[in-house]
Amino acid sequence: MDFELDDALLTLQATARRFADEEMVPHAAEWDQQGELPLPVLEKAWELGLSHTGIPEELGGVGLPVTAAVVGVEELARGCGGVTTSIISNDLALNPILLGGSDDQRKEWLGQCVEEFKILAFCLSEPGAGSDVAGLQLHCERDGDDYVLNGTKAWITNGGYADLYSVFATLDRGSRHKGMCAFVIPKGTPGLSPGRKEDKMGHRASNTTLVHFDNVRVPASQRLGAEGEGFKIAMATLDRARPQVAALAVGVARRALEESLAYVAERKAFGQPIGEFQGLQFMLADMAKNIEASRLLTAQAAWLLDAGRKSAKQSAMAKLFATDTAMDVTTDAVQIFGGNGYTKEYPVEKLMRDAKLMQIYEGTNQIQRVVIAREVAKE
């Protein structure tokens, strides 16, 4: 078993690390305070091949395997969790097209994302259907060669800026997952409109909105897969995306550990650096241990996906453990900084706020436990 990164991955890692250090770290606090998505930064990430990474080479994309994508995401997340969430949400929204689209649909919609910078949004959650995906209420009704969509999506990352939306709707609100369909819908389609922007605790540099569908007419040619296959496409998309969320969590936790190590070396109490106190050393050791374990779980889940093997359990485990670790590590970082950690003068309070969301989105950590228990019972 080889844990060394090859030359290509080392180059990707260095590019992402440099981008985070130069383009994100100096501005992250300002973006957080303003609560605005820095669009030029997202476009530059795309130009460097750090965004939309899942588009295959045969369609003109960089075609990164998941094992490579998670290396880049970890580095980006050190810079700003919110911006990184918006970056990886592009790939999240691309996945339904990759997994459920026909060859012609992949060429048409993914080709657009290669030719010019496009922002994408994944529209699954609703005001009354978050963890209960099969309970979604956005309705699609067949009308000749079209579908007409009515309803509202909630908590949509990039919702206010997206050029393309991957949308999940149901033919019958009482049929649960059996009636679910997936669509790709471009910005400007009549009746599709972003709604209220959420004022969030963390990840404030990412854009999160409602998205309204008022008699939105969508050609049947924009349906991904067959009628009733939407649930399968959504679940496969989330399985594929969860290792990137885990990698994001590893990056946020790693930044908190790095900040803590620097702080305990400089801060003095009782005549010595506080890093010499065993109590803090134990905290730092646990932080480092769990970050390494999170990275390994993430790598295993990514490897299984690239190998085309069953990955639901490992993807859920990676997402669960890494995001819980990020919450624990960032909370401990604030504690290590003491009163300073509770102020915006230091970055650790932002890291703690950013960590919390990762336990909630793309399947709450309680849902991850449900997935893991179900998969273990099958073994």
Q: Would you please indicate which residues are annotated as catalytic (active-site) residues? A: 362
200 alpha-carbon distance from chain centroid:
16
Of 329, 302, 305, residue with least CA distance to 244: 302
CB atoms within 10 A of CB 179: 20
Report whether 353 contacts 251 (CB < 8 A): no
Token pair belonging to 201: 């605790």
CB atoms within 10 A of CB 135: 14
> Which string of DSSP letters, residue by residue, matches 26-82?
TTHHHHHHHT---HHHHHHHHHTT-SSTTS-GGGTS----HHHHHHHHHHHHHH-HH
Q: Distance between CA 132 and CA 110 in Å, rounded? A: 29
Using the structure block, give the residue that is written with the tokens 């803090």. Answer: 280
Token pair belonging to 73: 């995401």
